[in-house]
Amino acid sequence: MDTISIINTDNKARLYKIAFWLALFTIAYNTIEGLVSTYLGYEDESLSLFGFGADSFIEVISGIGIAHMVLRIQRNDNSPRDKFERTALRITGFAFYTLVAGLTVTSLYNIWTGHKPETTFWGVVISIISIAVMWALVYTKERVGNKLNSDAILADAGCTRVCIYMSVILLVASGIYELTGIPYIDSIGTLGIAYFAFKEGKECFEKANSDKLCSSNCCS
């Protein structure tokens, strides 16, 4: 593994710039994904796709905190989290918990009433795109983090994996429903998304209240 001690100043600055632009790309992508997913989820009455889109908006808030973190560790990689990052983490955590409550209640209601989406086709399409994009982000963040020997950037890469897990859940639920029309699959997929959203929210509050980069269960 390359370390900061064996890369020159220009390379170090270039790598931090890449990390910062990765954070900005994540913000932009999640914004677009959130808009498209919530709109199509609402139109198709697919709660799993709508919830996936709502999660993307929360990831935008998280991404802003990550971009700020990259700038902070670029100045001093040993500096503790500042007030801005802790506030962003608490807002993100609260948003995740709110999403979990809404998705859980609505999923149970849909199961109770026998509600089914009109189609989950777009859930399949969006999830496949998301898996590809998030996988590329994880790979690139890990490369940058390893070259900088930055635990903070590597922790961010690890937590980006949760987006892949959510995308896989959306793909499986949407694909099964589209192929079979089995009732409740969309609602069960939504509960799976809610589970990972809960873990993300818990992680955010743990980070906000300490200087740990990640708990032992970070996004896994």
Give the DSSP per-residue string, 18-80.
Answer: HHHHHHHHHHHHHHHHHHHHHHHHHHHT-HHHHHHHHHHHHHHHHHHHHHHHHHHHHH-TTPP
- List the Cα angle 72/78/80 in 5-degree steps: 65
Give pTM, 2 decimals. 0.89
Nearest to 46 by CA among 192, 167, 168, 174: 174
Tell me if 60 sits within 8 A of 31, measured CB to CB.
yes
Angstrom distances, CA of residue 130 to CA of 37, 46, 162, 168, 171 = 11, 17, 11, 9, 10
Tell me if 50 sits within 8 A of 41, measured CB to CB.
yes
How confident is the prediction along the chain (220 residues), in pLDDT tens digits per residue? 444 444 577 788 899 999 999 999 999 999 999 999 999 999 999 999 999 999 999 999 999 999 999 999 988 877 788 899 999 999 999 999 999 999 999 999 999 999 999 999 999 999 999 999 999 999 999 999 999 988 889 988 988 899 999 999 999 999 999 999 988 999 999 999 999 999 999 999 998 887 665 543 454 3
Residue carrying structure tokens 């939504």:
190
